[in-house]
Amino acid sequence: MNIYDIATLAGVSHTTVSRVINDKPGVKQETREKILKILDEQAYFPNSHARGLASNENKVIGIIVIDVRNIHHIHTAFHIEEAFTQYGYVSVIASCGLDDSKQEEYLKVMASRNVEGLVLIGSRFQNNNMKKSIKKYLSDKPVVIANGYIELDNVCGVVVNERKGVSNVVDFLVSKGHKNIGFMNDYVTYSAHNKQEGFLDGIRKNNLMFNEKNIKYIKTELENSEIETEKFLKENPNITAIIYSEDIMAVGAIKACVKMGLKVPEDINIIGFNNSIYSDISIPTISSIDNRNTAMGDRCSKALYSMLNGEKTEAIYHLMPKFKVKDSTN
Amino acid sequence: MNIYDIATLAGVSHTTVSRVINDKPGVKQETREKILKILDEQAYFPNSHARGLASNENKVIGIIVIDVRNIHHIHTAFHIEEAFTQYGYVSVIASCGLDDSKQEEYLKVMASRNVEGLVLIGSRFQNNNMKKSIKKYLSDKPVVIANGYIELDNVCGVVVNERKGVSNVVDFLVSKGHKNIGFMNDYVTYSAHNKQEGFLDGIRKNNLMFNEKNIKYIKTELENSEIETEKFLKENPNITAIIYSEDIMAVGAIKACVKMGLKVPEDINIIGFNNSIYSDISIPTISSIDNRNTAMGDRCSKALYSMLNGEKTEAIYHLMPKFKVKDSTN
DNA sequence: TTGAAAGCGATACCAA
DNA sequence: TTGGTATCGCTTTCAA
């Protein structure tokens, strides 16, 4: 069932049918109604390929998520998807995993699918290869990076100031009398780097003694974090507070503490990052740095939509994280 | 940059270029290499609309998720997306939310995007409206329902036997000496219905006394579950075990128990459903019915892929849930 | 208010 | 081994 079939049924030309489908003026009310009726009866909808080919727009955006397992990323993705559904777009979502070499490949896939715009979710996308790939495959399409930025005319970044978020927490802990603070970070992403810089800022600003051993890199995993935290606490018995770069790691820490007979927050303070449901599930609930998930989704959606409509946007939008005090700090 | 531009640059016809792009025989090695080189230099990729229009296939599948907040659904969705990426497909993912009236609308969107196949994730899709909509908009495309089934030639269902899963848990509890067992269910989806039937099966099979008050409907929410569980336990002080239809509700139960000074599992057993990370985060970890998330994703992917290739599949695939005993049961 | 015809960028058949 | 041409289903001018 195509536009010609409809035209035949209605006894008009396909041009007229096209006008009706696209709500364009220049059709007699009577004719319009007749065609609308047939359209409905036949459950007709236009072929999106023909449409895309003829009009060169297809109302599709791409969303690439770097890590499926990160509920925080997934939620941002779905938030954006929801917003764009409102705008009449559909979203092609792909998860490229942690393998760096796949980034270019996925960008190519998106480009070849003629997406009108793209959102990349995760700080890992902030790298030089990505810059090259965007230049090569998507130089004329708007791209928004959630939690990262690349200096290109068609790219806009929305970043959470994670560095400040962590350094503020160090301030908070110091104000509560903590002097020996640990930091457990996940492996090197741009985001992890920022968090660590924030930790060091806090140490310096508050004139705390810095000990290399107070920083430890671990995998972003519940079980692993439990094991590593136990080791860490045994090696550093004087530590009274630990900041984690992800909530799930902080949950592992709570488990380690329970196992070791340490009370949280009486014996040790635990701080997470993301203010996710994980931090609420934990007993005690975990004080956590809220990275403004919803605001991030909003900002990304709005930025991309503006760009799609040819409006100017900032090169970078900044969001300030908020420290949510719960039961794992005193 | 289109196929004609490439042809001009290579000094051949666009037909030859098309042959090279599609890896078809009948091109001299030398010519092929020359064209490949130009293709690469120009970072050319074919216009997907033109391709879709001409060949009538576009390697796009649709995935509709009913509830974004359910990590279990999201993971199944991403699992399928991953599998289909391997097959060279992209996935258009949409979350239609809990609003029933939107189901038809989303189906229409997918149809109008000419998806080659569709996966619906969630038992809520198993209803008559959906059946009508599929008939109307997607009668010729393969549809797979995760955790549901609709009797139509082009629809295949993959269901987890949740009923058996719950009734098995009742058996387990009875074998441990429990006689007064509660069941807290979320609101009426087909899935919730099945779980409840399973609970009743278990009660009957084990000749337990049935009391209407032992079943309670609550919202699938952490905080709400905590509140409702506390009420429930006060109203039914003789209960020694409660089964929840979702892990997150069971987590709320643990919180309620802690608050009330009840020890888990000494004073009361708590059982969740989904065997999600929530049940592992909790202290104690929650014994939970594993609904075979990964297997579900696999089965759905394979079923859809088979149907796309014109192969026959079962009308329904069954998966058996597995009870994972952890620390919240004795 | 309507319609004819060109064009979008591929694929695929048939001829050379 | 190549190329010409029709075709997919729509949008968009231009003319009537």
Q: Which nucleotide is nearest to A10 (CA to C1')?
A: C2
Spacing of B26 CA from C9 C1' in Å:
22
Residues linked to residue A323 through DSSP beta bridges, in sequence order? A289
**Minimal C-alpha gap between A255 and chain B (Å):** 8
Counting every residue, how long is chain A?
A: 330
Q: What is the mean pLDDT of residues A231-238?
A: 96
Assign B262 to helix, strand or coil.
coil
How many angstroms separate the Cα of A145 from the Cα of each of A164, A248, A317, B97, B284? Answer: 20, 24, 10, 26, 39
pLDDT for the residue numbered B238: 94
Distance, CA of A134 to CA of A140 (rounded, Å): 9
Query: Which residue in B has a C-alpha nearest to residue A47's C-alpha?
Result: B112
Binned at pLDDT 50, 70 and 90, residue A258 comes out as: very high
Q: What is the mean pLDDT of residues B169-191?
A: 94
Q: Judge whether residue A112 has pLDDT over 90.
A: no
Per the prediction, chain B carries an average pLDDT of 93
Binned at pLDDT 50, 70 and 90, residue B109 comes out as: confident
Residue with tokens 């094991």: A227
pLDDT for the residue numbered B66: 84
Which range marks the domain in which residue A33 is found? 3-46
> Which chain A residues are closer than 8 Å to B281 by Cβ?
222, 248, 251, 278, 281-282
Binned at pLDDT 50, 70 and 90, residue A19 comes out as: very high
Q: What is the mean pLDDT of residues B240-256?
A: 97
pTM of the model: 0.91
Q: Do B129 and B11 sit in the same domain of this protein?
A: no
SS3 per residue for A258-289: HHHCCCCCCCCEEEEECCCHHHHHCCCCCEEE
Counting every residue, how long is chain B?
A: 330
Q: Which nucleotides of C are covered by protein (CB under 7 A)?
A: 1-5, 7-13
Q: Do A206 and A111 sit in the same domain of this protein?
A: no
Q: Judge whether residue A140 has pLDDT over 90.
A: no
pLDDT for the residue numbered A235: 95
Q: Return phi, psi of residue B238, to 5°.
A: -90, -5
The CATH number that applies at residue B9 is 1.10.260.40
Distance, CA of B179 to CA of A205 (rounded, Å): 61
pLDDT for the residue numbered B108: 87
Most confident range, picked from B22-26, B92-96, B212-216: B212-216
B53: in domain:
no
Q: Do A39 and A187 sit in the same domain of this protein?
A: no
Measured over all CA atoms, what is the biggest interatomic distance in chain B, rounded to whole angstroms?
Answer: 87
B196 contacts B215 by C-beta, under 8 angstroms: yes
Distance, CA of A278 to CA of A280 (rounded, Å): 5
B323: in domain:
no
pLDDT for the residue numbered B188: 78
pLDDT tens, position by position, B129-163: 999 999 988 988 999 999 999 999 999 999 999 99
Spacing of A25 CA from C1 C1' in Å:
10
A122 contacts A73 by C-beta, under 8 angstroms: yes
Q: Do A36 and A90 sit in the same domain of this protein?
A: no
How many helices (H) and strands (E) would you count in chain A?
A: 13, 12
Residues linked to residue B118 through DSSP beta bridges, in sequence order? B62, B143
**Strand C interface, protein residues by Cβ within 7 Å:** A 12-16, 19, 25-29, 31-32, 50, 53-54, 56; B 2-4, 14-15, 18, 21-22, 46-47, 49-51, 53-55
Spacing of B2 CA from C15 C1' in Å:
25
B321: in domain:
no
Q: Do A299 and A285 sit in the same domain of this protein?
A: no
Q: Judge whether residue B292 has pLDDT over 90.
A: yes
From first CA to last CA, the distance across chain A in angstroms is 68
> Which chain A residues are closer than 8 Å to B87 by Cβ?
none
Question: Percent of chain B having pLDDT more than 90?
Answer: 79
Per the prediction, chain A carries an average pLDDT of 93
B268: in domain:
yes
B58 contacts B114 by C-beta, under 8 angstroms: yes
Q: Do B71 and B152 sit in the same domain of this protein?
A: yes
Q: Judge whether residue A38 has pLDDT over 80.
A: yes
Query: Which residue in A has a C-alpha nearest to residue B73's C-alpha?
Result: A74
Binned at pLDDT 50, 70 and 90, residue A43 comes out as: confident
Q: Do A169 and A281 sit in the same domain of this protein?
A: yes
Residue-wise DSSP of A60-110: EEEEEES-TT-HHHHHHHHHHHHHHHHTT-EEEEEE--S-TTHHHHHHHHH
Q: What is the mean pLDDT of residues A316-323?
A: 97
Binned at pLDDT 50, 70 and 90, residue A144 comes out as: very high
Question: Percent of chain A having pLDDT more than 70?
Answer: 99
Tokens encoding A51: 């449409």
Q: Return phi, psi of residue B178, to 5°.
A: -75, 140
Which of A49, A58, A270 should we substitute to test contact with B (largest number of B Cβ atoms within 10 Å)? A49
Distance, CA of B330 to CA of B319 (rounded, Å): 26
Q: What is the mean pLDDT of residues B211-228?
A: 95
Distance, CA of A278 to CA of A294 (rounded, Å): 17
Distance, CA of B17 to CA of B8 (rounded, Å): 10
Distance, CA of A144 to CA of B195 (rounded, Å): 43
Distance, CA of A234 to CA of B113 (rounded, Å): 58
**Minimal C-alpha gap between A221 and chain B (Å):** 11
Distance, CA of A314 to CA of B3 (rounded, Å): 36
Spacing of A15 CA from D12 C1' in Å:
9
Q: What is the mean pLDDT of residues A257-268?
A: 97
A61 part of contact set with chain B, CB < 8 Å: no
pLDDT for the residue numbered B319: 97
Q: What is the mean pLDDT of residues A43-50?
A: 89
Query: Who has greater pLDDT, B46 or A58?
Result: B46
Tokens encoding A272: 């997470």
Residue-wise DSSP of A107-140: HHHHHHTT-SEEEEESGGG-SHHHHHHHHHH-TT
Distance, CA of B76 to CA of B66 (rounded, Å): 12
A128: in domain:
yes
> Which chain B residues are closer than 8 Å to A75 by Cβ?
68
Distance, CA of B64 to CA of B92 (rounded, Å): 8
pLDDT for the residue numbered A199: 98
Question: Percent of chain A having pLDDT more than 90?
Answer: 78
Q: Do B136 and B37 sit in the same domain of this protein?
A: no
Distance, CA of A83 to CA of B146 (rounded, Å): 25
Spacing of B7 CA from D4 C1' in Å:
14
- For the ranges A147-161, B34-48, B149-163, B291-305, which has the lowest average pLDDT? B34-48
B324: in domain:
no
pLDDT for the residue numbered A66: 84
From first CA to last CA, the distance across chain B in angstroms is 68
Which of B281, B288, B294 should we substitute to test contact with A (largest number of A Cβ atoms within 10 Å)? B281
Q: Do B107 and B175 sit in the same domain of this protein?
A: no
Half-sphere exposure of B330 (CA within 13 A, CB side): 12
Q: Which nucleotide is nearest to A13 (CA to C1')?
A: C3
Q: What's the structural domain count of chain B? A: 3
Assign B101 to helix, strand or coil.
coil
**Strand D interface, protein residues by Cβ within 7 Å:** A 2-4, 14-15, 18-19, 21-22, 46-47, 50-51, 53-55; B 11-16, 19, 25-31, 50, 53-54, 56
Interface list for A 243-262 with B (CB within 8 A): 248, 251, 254-255, 258
A121 contacts A94 by C-beta, under 8 angstroms: no
Q: Which nucleotide is nearest to A19 (CA to C1')?
A: D11
pLDDT tens, position by position, B40-98: 999 898 999 999 989 888 889 999 998 776 888 888 998 999 999 989 899 998 888 87
Rg (CA), chain B: 26
Q: Which nucleotides of D are covered by protein (CB under 7 A)?
A: 1-5, 7-13
Sign of the CA dihedral with B245 first, then B81, A116, and A51 last: negative
pLDDT for the residue numbered A240: 97
Q: Do A32 and A82 sit in the same domain of this protein?
A: no
How many helices (H) and strands (E) would you count in chain B?
A: 13, 12
Q: Do B181 and B225 sit in the same domain of this protein?
A: yes
- For the ranges A89-98, A314-323, B112-121, which has the lowest average pLDDT? A89-98
Tokens encoding A160: 């959470």
Q: Judge whether residue A114 has pLDDT over 90.
A: no
B114: in domain:
yes
> Which chain B residues are closer than 8 Å to A281 by Cβ?
222, 248, 251, 278, 281-282
Q: Judge whether residue A67 has pLDDT over 80.
A: no
Assign A308 to helix, strand or coil.
helix
A82: in domain:
yes
The CATH number that applies at residue A279 is 3.40.50.2300
Q: Judge whether residue B113 has pLDDT over 90.
A: no
Q: Do B299 and B155 sit in the same domain of this protein?
A: yes
Q: Name residues whose C-beta falls within 8 Å of residue B244's C-beta, 6 or more positions apart in sequence.
A: B183, B184, B225, B250, B253, B270, B271, B272, B273
